[in-house]
Structure 1
């Protein structure tokens, strides 16, 4: 069946949201002669292959093909690798990540539990004879060794397969060396647990002991013959894993890195480059204080380089902390009401930009991703751009309305751009502002086109996206409304990119005016905007109401028929909406919601709501299942469809079951759709497709639109 014959739900599911076949995970070699990347063979092929592009000729070479390397055998994943992919939200197959040496001549990757290395100039790949299953293999900067994790031990092997040995072995089943613990991977975006020295003679190795962490068991009731899976889950107010760090040489001798772990238990980031000593970012548990520490690799002693403090919380950012070539500290900090790039003690940006991440640190400038700040001359709703920053000023290098990002080495950049008017994204190799070659994408063309209007709603100028049915005319009259938010921290939904709005457009084509609103708490505006939700996540729902009413005068919105749908935080938001504002919202699809804040993890929940032992009333107010959550404000009972994956180890299904129990006890009718064997990602094709269809059916029934 061709893409033209597929329904949108089936195409959307089969293409994994149109990500398959698109190039990704770019690396530019320091000599600027190679661009390395991953890409599958088509828009429906889940298996990623490793490619190398010549930026001058545009010629591509296939370096590693999983089908050839595995001899046609099916890929096998260990439980540890499945958990790692769940943390990174990785739904594809084959080579899903890789690491290279300093010269980008040797790549290492895991495939079906084995270590493979690829010579990027020669275009050959081979397996190394090491014990498995293997996780996260990484070459040393000089390309002579590969470090990797197997069964909780950090091991090392020569690039030719010689001298395999353990550098650090777990003392018991609760200990791992070289892996990120759950909370680091899920919430800090630290997916690694070991780091090579720039001289390739030793490593920094994290040791995680999860024995203090409470145990939960996740069962699949559809398969009672299977044992439940034991999960060490650090819920709010409970113990985290104990994380330590060691400097380890290539023979296994190690020295512990010393800092005040009682006061700063979170190992948030690690950086080790030739520009300075190993650099750590450690956070206090309340995330209101953090220290940048330089490590003496010989003694393990640390010295304080810088201290950040914030009365609300401190965020973590990609690419920092790091050393500039001259040895100054590079960081992103909230200062003077803005989120700025600072080098040493000097901020290099101001209120005109809201810095998101550091993309590259060059000899004479720093490449950053940023959005226009609140003091920008004109609003750039949903946009994100790439800028060069140095002591002389700021230069935007991305062009046109859209969402842009980049990878750079030297003067060669891969610039990836998504725009509202074109599906997918374009990856261009650029030098000195000149486009050299576009990297081919095999992603499918969607069978529908998103006609999104980016605007602002309400007195707070809440960023919004509005989508109407294809071909809608004013004479068609007002439309039932579907609010379609994520609406919370870390989840920017109102973006100037086409594919981000395809599902919303499909819902619009079922007869709805769809509104996506990024209220307070959502990223991409200002620190104050994001931090307004401290102790009060309910504000996110109030902003959905304000956005809705603010748009009603400009768009054909029938406020007597308003539904809301969401997943994860968006599911929580949907539940809040119908329980606390049934005067506004008339039906809700509540997907994988956090209903009891005490059941979600430490680093996330405590950042926003504090310690549940000290602020139980805050947790009660922000819960869906307490008296605050099931308030008597809603004598009007609104239809609610609760959807949850039974295999979810992030937002466990207990959230949905407790909500259902509380609703039943309160005499509130509702529907529950359990998804057997499904995790937080819902990657299965049939599940993803039918979930969309079932939601439309529920929404039309609930709003009295069954005949529409």
Structure 2
């Protein structure tokens, strides 16, 4: 009996211990809370199957496996790295249009945020032949629709390899580093227009259209790379800051039949403009191109007939602030097209004829279309994601092209996103909420009914039951005349009769969202750790953030950092009045735009905030790139007060609290110049502060032990400045 009692006590003690397990920084950054997903999901053209990239860690084998939508059973392995003697493995893949060939990525090294140099092989599914694209590391290899050729960029020029003969044809010859780029975007296009491949095959695989970037007059930026050698090296690249010269862009066509290279022109005389998108229509000789003025408040959609050598504007949009460029342009069989726009004040779907005449506004309402999934020609139905169920949630919908018979296809409240089968019979829904990790479920697109569960993260959910975890509470707070979305994480043993320090997080950039009903990011586990240590953590999306209409989002135009900062300061004041929050211990932090904001909040709200952490912050918009900054601020020459009155570098004299400034010296996005100039301003204002520099680390500040070190640094600073009474 005594033995059983001892066992019982041991089990109870173990149970209590498990239930009280504390989250540590080592847990967070060692991958303890990593979620399972579906890698490189691709819907096969037959509509009945999908492919997934699988990797066996024990055998180090990569496979592309085919699964049946109905049964979710594996049908076959399409290709395995063990069957290809030329390669050891691959970590990404892409098909050509008819799915007869696959590009396999075997090696890759980053250039900037989205661009890479890589080693690629082409696998012929029928013959099982393998062809290396190039012995050099190349960019953006893209198979022609008929699968006979592959185009790619190398050393700023474009090349095409014939897969039958092996012959390589060089399409351009004037490419030169930091001068001319053909078919691959420059730094600022890649970062702010979100694409790297600036060339496109036509449907007949005999024409390639591309953008040429002449960056000769763009000012250079240089960064020391310290490395481990005796002498540092320099990374020098073209970076147009606000108000400075951009690349001169032009549009070109290479005809593979005639071997002729020509420049394509339009009939409108543009000055200092952008070409943010190009895409061939279903007509093999008609190319669609989007032109945008430098202020980015005018967007023209052109159709260029490369055979008839004619061009015409089919759609011209103007906005009092700016227009967001998307990837949603979709051509139907008759070359009418789907377009998304904020014309009525919210982002919605529109249908236009091929001549640009409005046929129908498909979706309407005081909510936002947040993703466009495609058009089912057979059912005459569009599929999209929206905020119709609240701005912090996402659901998947279907609607007829006429705008009738709208149907909600997902049922759980949270964040739903879809990957449709090629014929739109099925979709794989990824669902998560603040309380539920990612679930992958097969749905019928017609009925919206669940067909089968595919994968979940129940093991992670079960693991987390053993940790001290608090609920993420969603609410709104009335600030400066607006109901702002907010989440709150309180200590698990929260007592309303006690007082707690408040730690605020925000990003706040135009059109962004941090208050969303979705599963934890890595930072959420950090906030949970801080909550278990006695802090209340809050996040508020202020004016200028997204998914609540164009007026709310674009209110900050020409004055970045004014209204957003006012909202964070006022929100902190209101929260400080709550009985359980210690108004003398309120801190704020952010990264990038959020670091710009946290710096401003501490300086301008010096009677509210006791401390702030700014990671990789913009300290003056004069230091940031042209496309992003001018979209919201126009140029410094046109709007000097907008730039200077709200930049934290000009308010350092107001600093009273504790300030931690962090940056990586290899940040090609928000240059360490921002921090160095801030440091000098603080010194000259005789203000004490703390700072940390991470050698050669980019905007993400990661690699090896870096992230763990960074979060230890920040956690220690929080404890020293806010946690003195804990």
For Structure 1 versus Structure 2, the TM-score category normalised by the shorter chain is 0.7 to 0.9
Moved more, 450-459 or 167-176: 167-176
The answer to whether residue 553 in structure 2 is matched with residue 536 in structure 1 is no
- Whole-angstrom CA distance in 2 between matches of 1:444 and 1:196: 45
**Residues 246-305 of structure 1 deviation map (CA, whole Å, 9 limit, x = unaligned):** 222235422322134733621112222426832111110001111000111225542100
Query: Against the structure 1 CA distance between its residues 40 and 673, is the aligned structure 2 distance closer, same or farther, given a 3 Å change threshold?
Result: farther
User: 2:114 matched to which residue of 1?
Assistant: none
The answer to whether residue 379 in structure 2 is matched with residue 360 in structure 1 is no
Query: Against the structure 1 CA distance between its residues 121 and 394, is the aligned structure 2 distance closer, same or farther, given a 3 Å change threshold?
Result: farther
Unaligned runs of at least 5 residues, structure 1: 76-93, 373-378
* Residues 328-477 of structure 1 mapped to structure 2, 5 A cutoff: 328-344=336-352, 345=358, 346-363=360-377, 364-372=380-388, 380-390=390-400, 391=402, 392-408=404-420, 409-410=422-423, 411-426=425-440, 428=442, 430-432=444-446, 433-440=448-455, 445=460, 447=464, 448=467, 449=469, 451-458=471-478, 459-475=481-497, 477=498
User: 1:316 matched to which residue of 2?
Assistant: 325
- Whole-angstrom CA distance in 2 between matches of 1:47 and 1:602: 44
Moved more, 655-664 or 27-36: 27-36
The answer to whether residue 245 in structure 2 is matched with residue 249 in structure 1 is no
Q: Secondary structure at the match of 1:692?
A: helix
1:653 CA displacement: 0.5
Is the 1:118–1:126 contact (alpha carbons within 8 Å) kept by the matching residues of 2? Answer: yes
Is the 2:131–2:163 contact (alpha carbons within 8 Å) kept by the matching residues of 1? Answer: no
**Residues 372-425 of structure 1 deviation map (CA, whole Å, 9 limit, x = unaligned):** 3xxxxxx62511222223212422222211112222221232222222211234
**Based on CA coordinates, which of the two structures has the bigger radius of gyration?**
2
Moved more, 270-279 or 601-610: 270-279
1:106 CA displacement: 2.6
Query: Against the structure 1 CA distance between its residues 125 and 239, is the aligned structure 2 distance closer, same or farther, given a 3 Å change threshold?
Result: farther
Query: Against the structure 1 CA distance between its residues 72 and 28, is the aligned structure 2 distance closer, same or farther, given a 3 Å change threshold?
Result: closer
1:457 CA displacement: 0.9
Moved more, 664-673 or 63-72: 63-72
The answer to whether residue 618 in structure 2 is matched with residue 594 in structure 1 is yes
The answer to whether residue 700 in structure 2 is matched with residue 688 in structure 1 is no
Query: Against the structure 1 CA distance between its residues 323 and 186, is the aligned structure 2 distance closer, same or farther, given a 3 Å change threshold?
Result: same
- Whole-angstrom CA distance in 1 between matches of 2:565 and 2:222: 32
- Whole-angstrom CA distance in 2 between matches of 1:588 and 1:702: 9
Query: Against the structure 1 CA distance between its residues 291 and 510, is the aligned structure 2 distance closer, same or farther, given a 3 Å change threshold?
Result: same
- Whole-angstrom CA distance in 2 between matches of 1:576 and 1:519: 14
- Whole-angstrom CA distance in 1 between matches of 2:169 and 2:32: 39
Q: Secondary structure at the match of 2:406?
A: strand
* Residues 267-286 of structure 1 mapped to structure 2, 5 A cutoff: 267-274=275-282, 277-286=286-295
User: 1:547 matched to which residue of 2?
Assistant: 571
- Whole-angstrom CA distance in 1 between matches of 2:129 and 2:457: 23
Is the 2:511–2:547 contact (alpha carbons within 8 Å) kept by the matching residues of 1? Answer: no
Q: Please, what is the CA RMSD of the aligned residues?
A: 3.1
User: 1:142 matched to which residue of 2?
Assistant: 146
Is the 2:617–2:675 contact (alpha carbons within 8 Å) kept by the matching residues of 1? Answer: yes
Is the 2:649–2:681 contact (alpha carbons within 8 Å) kept by the matching residues of 1? Answer: yes
Is the 1:137–1:147 contact (alpha carbons within 8 Å) kept by the matching residues of 2? Answer: yes
Query: Against the structure 1 CA distance between its residues 291 and 17, is the aligned structure 2 distance closer, same or farther, given a 3 Å change threshold?
Result: farther
Query: Against the structure 1 CA distance between its residues 678 and 58, is the aligned structure 2 distance closer, same or farther, given a 3 Å change threshold?
Result: same
Counterpart of 2:219 (choices 214, 227, 239) is: 214
- Whole-angstrom CA distance in 1 between matches of 2:78 and 2:394: 32
Counterpart of 1:288 (choices 288, 297, 304) is: 297
User: 2:102 matched to which residue of 1?
Assistant: 107
Is the 2:22–2:532 contact (alpha carbons within 8 Å) kept by the matching residues of 1? Answer: no
Counterpart of 2:209 (choices 175, 192, 204) is: 204
User: 1:499 matched to which residue of 2?
Assistant: 520
Is the 1:469–1:508 contact (alpha carbons within 8 Å) kept by the matching residues of 2? Answer: yes
Unaligned runs of at least 5 residues, structure 2: 1-17, 108-117, 353-357
The answer to whether residue 137 in structure 2 is matched with residue 133 in structure 1 is yes
- Whole-angstrom CA distance in 1 between matches of 2:530 and 2:553: 28
**Residues 12-61 of structure 1 deviation map (CA, whole Å, 9 limit, x = unaligned):** 33449836x5224432122113323445557x999986443332332345
- Whole-angstrom CA distance in 1 between matches of 2:325 and 2:475: 29
Is the 2:577–2:583 contact (alpha carbons within 8 Å) kept by the matching residues of 1? Answer: no
- Whole-angstrom CA distance in 1 between matches of 2:247 and 2:62: 33
- Whole-angstrom CA distance in 2 between matches of 1:329 and 1:498: 35
1:610 CA displacement: 1.0
Is the 1:580–1:630 contact (alpha carbons within 8 Å) kept by the matching residues of 2? Answer: no
Counterpart of 2:196 (choices 166, 191, 196) is: 191
Q: Secondary structure at the match of 1:315?
A: coil
- Whole-angstrom CA distance in 1 between matches of 2:337 and 2:677: 47
User: 2:603 matched to which residue of 1?
Assistant: 579
Counterpart of 1:481 (choices 491, 502, 505) is: 502
The answer to whether residue 182 in structure 2 is matched with residue 182 in structure 1 is no
1:579 CA displacement: 0.7
- Whole-angstrom CA distance in 1 between matches of 2:369 and 2:171: 39
- Whole-angstrom CA distance in 2 between matches of 1:16 and 1:154: 44
Is the 1:450–1:498 contact (alpha carbons within 8 Å) kept by the matching residues of 2? Answer: no
Counterpart of 1:233 (choices 229, 234, 239) is: 239
1:138 CA displacement: 1.6
Is the 2:409–2:449 contact (alpha carbons within 8 Å) kept by the matching residues of 1? Answer: no
Q: Secondary structure at the match of 1:114?
A: strand
TM-score (norm 2): 0.85
Is the 1:23–1:441 contact (alpha carbons within 8 Å) kept by the matching residues of 2? Answer: no
Is the 1:270–1:281 contact (alpha carbons within 8 Å) kept by the matching residues of 2? Answer: yes
1:707 CA displacement: 6.6
Counterpart of 2:91 (choices 76, 90, 95) is: 95
Is the 1:291–1:304 contact (alpha carbons within 8 Å) kept by the matching residues of 2? Answer: yes
Q: Secondary structure at the match of 2:171?
A: strand
**Residues 211-265 of structure 1 deviation map (CA, whole Å, 9 limit, x = unaligned):** 1211111113465613110011111001111222222223542232213473362
* Residues 653-672 of structure 1 mapped to structure 2, 5 A cutoff: 653-672=672-691
Is the 1:267–1:280 contact (alpha carbons within 8 Å) kept by the matching residues of 2? Answer: yes
User: 2:169 matched to which residue of 1?
Assistant: 165
User: 2:28 matched to which residue of 1?
Assistant: 12
